[in-house]
Amino acid sequence: EPEVTQTPSHQVTQMGQEVILRCVPISNHLYFYWYRQILGQKVEFLVSFYNNEISEKSEIFDDQFSVERPDGSNFTLKIRSTKLEDSAMYFCASSEGFDGLSSHTDTQYFGPGTRLTVL
């Protein structure tokens, strides 16, 4: 069964450094998402991406964050200058998109996550 993959599984970085988290969405999916979960807290939406553009973003997704689809398979989240409070699990998700014919097409499927630790 196709699945979303993420690398690395764990990233440790120093405060102020740039990190890039990578995701490979399910191959025929058109919508891509990033969520994060600070330890012990809820899963929070960061950003959605469609047709090479950001579709929607939350208040958390400020200027230090950016997303990119550099090629036909990868979807990346860059944090420009990491802060201690960026330490969290980051989950990538993808969905096929709604074709108007089926109720099953916009289900979001999540990857296993990248644990980011900022020291």
Partner 1 sequence: DAKTTQPPSMDCAEGRAANLPCNHSTISGNEYVYWYRQIHSQGPQYIIHGLKNNETNEMASLIITEDRKSSTLILPHATLRDTAVYYCIVGQNSGNTPLVFGKGTRLSVIA
Q: Determine the interface stretch with partner 1 among 12-20, 62-70, 71-79, 90-98 (rule: CB under 8 A).
A: 90-98
Please identify which residue in 19, 21, 25, 35 interacts with partner 1, judged by CB under 8 A. Answer: 35
What distance in Å separates the CA atoms of residue 47 and residue 59, rounded to the nearest whole number?
Answer: 9
The reply on whether position 25 binds partner 1 by CB under 8 A is no
The reply on whether position 14 binds partner 1 by CB under 8 A is no
Residues 6+ apart with CB under 8 A from 48: 31, 32, 33, 54, 55, 56, 57
Residues 6+ apart with CB under 8 A from 65: 46, 47, 77, 78, 79, 80
Where along the sequence are the contacts to partner 1 (CB under 8 A)?
A: 4, 30-31, 33, 35, 37, 39, 42-45, 48, 50, 55-56, 58, 89, 91, 93, 95, 97-98, 103, 105-113, 115
